[in-house]
């Protein structure tokens, strides 16, 4: 693992600001792992804030809700931040934010059973908000007994501060969300893992001993429960990778081809936990989230609360004026994020940040031959030999890439980051994975 330059100072300790709602939002029908949804609304239909507008019949999916009130003006193919293009519902804003009548505020949250909590999570359309987008109601319904819940608050990607500002500003709410999550999976040990570059968040979570009980408020045998453990991790990339986190905290590795629940562990991202709180306590479906909008091109980088479907251009304008024309726009972190070809792509449930690079920062370097320095091997968090997979991939020896463990790659990007020869290691491994799957 590597200590990266953080670039977090611009938005560290900057209060979360709600972004103004856009005149039009573009809500893609695929924002999760699983089957894309189908629209429940027709062009011309009026929708309310939080109304379910897309659904599908499938095992793995999450419903999608409107993030504004207004009129559906189009359902069309539109740029998507992760998959190029996707069928998208376009809604024109009437700026009334009239709430959906379907959602009545809930009472007596502490009486809820695990199944009821999961149902609420499902209805709220919650997915893993750290970037993966796996439907949360499925993750919180593991087929095996769970004893450990790890809340992933590492936020190890440079530039991003959305999670850390959420932790500082919404500590109480997050604790309630953690309690609900722990109850859902029946975990006895709950850990919250935070990198040591977020001292304010660590202080908040460590100091709130009284709040600890909040975590277990709903659980019958509170006395048997161990308190919430705040784990302070060194700021090293990729500390927040699920495999790495489990190894660091439990000392165990997930066996190859197994999943965390096989070890009795569930890892949940901190923003997702906050969304669970909002769904259960405020009866609010997932239609907005906190995003870091930053980069040297911006005069006013911010942590913004943005509606799903907001074109990133509107968020960039909110943080303007732009000092320099951005040469590269990245959605996500700089290590794993995706470079965008247009600024019309909308925010989706898995968007953690928007980073603008100027021409100098965006300029790539030419690849040299591998000099076999072995740096990629030493830094790979899953013990691969990226340089060998890279060579095999370039020769299209797909079987060879498999033998060398291409399918175990978590695509964290650290190999390409450290490579002195600027080799596109991750890119070639991703290519091999695509060929093998």
Partner 1 sequence: MQNKLIVSSSPHIHTRESTRRIMWLVIISLIPAGLSGIYIFGLSALRTIMLGITSALISELLLQILFKRKNTILDGSAFLTGLLLSYNLPANTPFWLPIAGSFFAIAIGKFVFGGLGQNIFNPALAGRAFLVASWPKYMTAFTLPAYAKGWLNYDAITQATPLALIKKGKALIDTTYLDLFLGNKSGCIGEVCILALILGAAFLFLKGYISWHIPFPYIITVGLLAYIFGPKGYFSGDWLSHILSGGLILGAFFMATDYVTSPLTRKGQVFFGIGCGLITIVIRLWGGTSEGVCYSILMMNAAAPIIDRYTKSRIYGTR
* Three-state DSSP class for residue 323: coil
- Which helix (H) or strand (E) element contains residue 166? helix 162-169
Determine the straight-line distance between the first and last CA of the chain, rounded to whole angstroms.
27
Q: Smallest distance from the beta carbon of 423 to partner 1, in angstroms? A: 10
Q: Closest separation between CB of residue 119 and partner 1, Å?
A: 33
Q: Is 374 one of the binding residues for partner 1 (CB under 8 A)?
A: yes
Of 12-20, 61-69, 160-168, 366-374: span binding partner 1 (CB under 8 A): 366-374
Q: Note whether 418 binds partner 1 by CB under 8 A.
A: yes
CA quadruple 198, 200, 204, 206: dihedral sign: positive
For the record, the structure tokens of 10 come out as 């611009």
Q: Specify the residue, 223 or 325, whose C-beta has the smaller distance to partner 1.
A: 325
126 interacts with partner 1 by CB under 8 A: no
Per CB under 8 A, the segment of 58-66, 252-260, 266-274, 392-400 that binds partner 1 is: 252-260
d(Cα 117, Cα 132) in Å, to the nearest integer? 21
Residue with tokens 């359902």: 75
Determine, following the binding rule CB under 8 A, whether residue 339 of this chain makes contact with partner 1: yes
**Binding span for partner 1 by CB under 8 A among 23-31, 68-76, 184-192, 365-373:** 365-373
| Residues 72-91 contacting partner 1, CB under 8 A | none
Please, what is the minimum distance in Å from the beta carbon of residue 126 to partner 1?
A: 25
Based on CB atoms, which residue is closest to partner 1, 95 or 341?
Answer: 341
Contact call for residues 238 and 244 (beta carbons, < 8 A): yes
Residue number with CB closer to partner 1 (73 or 259): 259
Among 89, 370, 389, 392, binds partner 1 (CB under 8 A): 370
Tell me which stretch binds partner 1 (CB under 8 A): 63-71, 110-118, 226-234, 384-392. Answer: 384-392
Residue 13 found at the interface with partner 1 (CB under 8 A): no
β-partners of residue 255 are: none
Q: Does 325 bind partner 1 (CB under 8 A)?
A: yes
C-alpha–C-alpha distance, residues 292 and 398, integer Å: 38
Where does this chain touch partner 1 (CB under 8 A) — which range of 97-105, 171-179, 296-304, 357-365? Answer: 357-365
DSSP per residue over 181-240, as a string?
HHHHHT-SEEEEEEETT-HHHHHHHHH-HHHHHHHTTT-TTGGGSPPPEEEEEPS-BTTT
Determine the Cα–Cα distance for residues 354 and 315; give it in Å rounded to an integer: 9
Q: Which residues contact 107 (CB under 8 A, 6 or more apart)?
A: none
Segment interacting with partner 1 (CB under 8 A) among 18-26, 148-156, 276-284, 410-418: 410-418
The footprint of partner 1 on residues 145-164 (CB under 8 A) is 158
CB neighbour class for 206 (10 Å; exposed up to 12, middle 13-18, buried from 19): middle
Does position 338 bind partner 1 by CB under 8 A?
yes
Task: Give least dist CB 312 to partner 1, A.
Answer: 11
**Quick one: which of 227, 226, 268, 225 has its CA closest to 246?**
268
CB contact set of 304 (below 8 Å; sequence gap of 6+): 16, 17, 18, 19, 290, 291, 292, 293, 315, 318, 319
Q: Does 38 bind partner 1 (CB under 8 A)?
A: no
Q: How far is the CB of 419 from partner 1 (least distance, A)?
A: 8
Q: Which of 1, 335, 392, 432 binds partner 1 (CB under 8 A)?
A: 335
Q: How far is the CB of 364 from partner 1 (least distance, A)?
A: 6
- Does residue number 328 form part of the binding site for partner 1 (CB under 8 A)? yes
Burial of 400 (0-12, 13-18, 19+ CB in 10 A): middle
- Shortest Å distance, C-beta 428 to partner 1: 9
Nearer to partner 1, 281 or 398 (CB): 398
Sequence-distant (≥ 6) Cβ neighbours of residue 46 within 8 angstroms: 69, 70, 71, 72
Q: Which of 92, 147, 427, 435 binds partner 1 (CB under 8 A)?
A: 427
Token readout for 378 is: 């030493």
By the criterion CB under 8 A, which residues form the site for partner 1?
Answer: 4-5, 158, 243, 247, 253-258, 325-330, 332, 334-343, 355, 357, 361-362, 364-365, 368-375, 377-378, 380-385, 387-388, 405, 408, 411, 413-414, 416-418, 420-422, 424, 426-427, 430
């Amino acid at each position: 693992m590597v200590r990266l330059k953080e670039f977090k100072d611009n938005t560290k300790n900057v209060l979360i600001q709600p972004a103004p709602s856009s005149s039009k939002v573009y809500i893609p029908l695929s924002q999760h792992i699983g089957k894309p949804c189908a629209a429940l609304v027709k062009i011309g239909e009026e929708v309310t804030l939080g109304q379910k507008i897309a659904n599908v019949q499938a095992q793995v999916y999450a419903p999608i809700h409107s993030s504004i009130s207004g009129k559906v003006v189009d359902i069309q193919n539109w740029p998507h931040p992760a998959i190029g293009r996707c069928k998208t519902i376009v809604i024109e804003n009437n700026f009334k934010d009239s709430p959906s009548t379907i959602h009545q505020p809930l009472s007596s949250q502490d009486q809820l059973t695990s199944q009821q909590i999961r149902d609420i999570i499902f209805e709220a359309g919650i997915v893993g908000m750290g970037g993966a987008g796996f439907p949360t109601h499925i993750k919180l319904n593991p087929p095996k007994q769970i004893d450990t819940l790890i809340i992933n608050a590492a936020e190890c990607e440079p530039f991003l501060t959305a999670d850390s500002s959420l932790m500082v500003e919404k500590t109480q709410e997050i604790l309630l969300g953690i309690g609900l999550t722990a109850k859902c999976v029946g975990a006895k040990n709950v850990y919250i893992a935070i990198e040591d570059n977020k001292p304010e968040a660590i202080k908040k979570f460590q100091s709130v001993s009284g709040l600890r009980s909040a975590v277990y408020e709903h659980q019958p045998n509170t006395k048997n429960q161990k308190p919430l453990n705040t784990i302070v991790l060194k700021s090293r990339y990729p500390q927040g990778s699920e495999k790495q986190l489990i190894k660091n905290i439990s000392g165990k590795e997930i066996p190859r081809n197994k999943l965390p629940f096989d070890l009795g562990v569930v890892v949940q991202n901190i923003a997702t936990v906050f969304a669970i709180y909002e769904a259960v306590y405020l009866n609010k479906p997932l239609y907005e989230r906190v995003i870091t909008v930053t980069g040297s091109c911006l005069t006013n980088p911010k942590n913004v609360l943005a509606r799903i479907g907001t074109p990133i251009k509107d968020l960039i304008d909110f943080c303007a004026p732009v000092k320099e024309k951005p040469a590269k726009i990245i959605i996500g972190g700089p290590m794993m994020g995706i470079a965008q070809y247009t600024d019309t792509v909308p925010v989706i449930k898995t968007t953690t940040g928007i980073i603008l690079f100027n021409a100098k920062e965006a300029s790539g370097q030419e690849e040299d031959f591998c000099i076999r320095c072995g740096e990629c091997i030493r830094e790979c968090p899953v013990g691969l030999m990226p340089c060998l997979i890279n060579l095999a991939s370039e020769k299209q020896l797909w079987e060879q890439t498999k033998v060398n463990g291409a399918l175990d790659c978590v695509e964290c990007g650290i190999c390409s980051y450290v490579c002195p020869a600027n080799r596109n290691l991750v890119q070639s491994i991703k290519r091999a994975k695509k060929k093998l799957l």
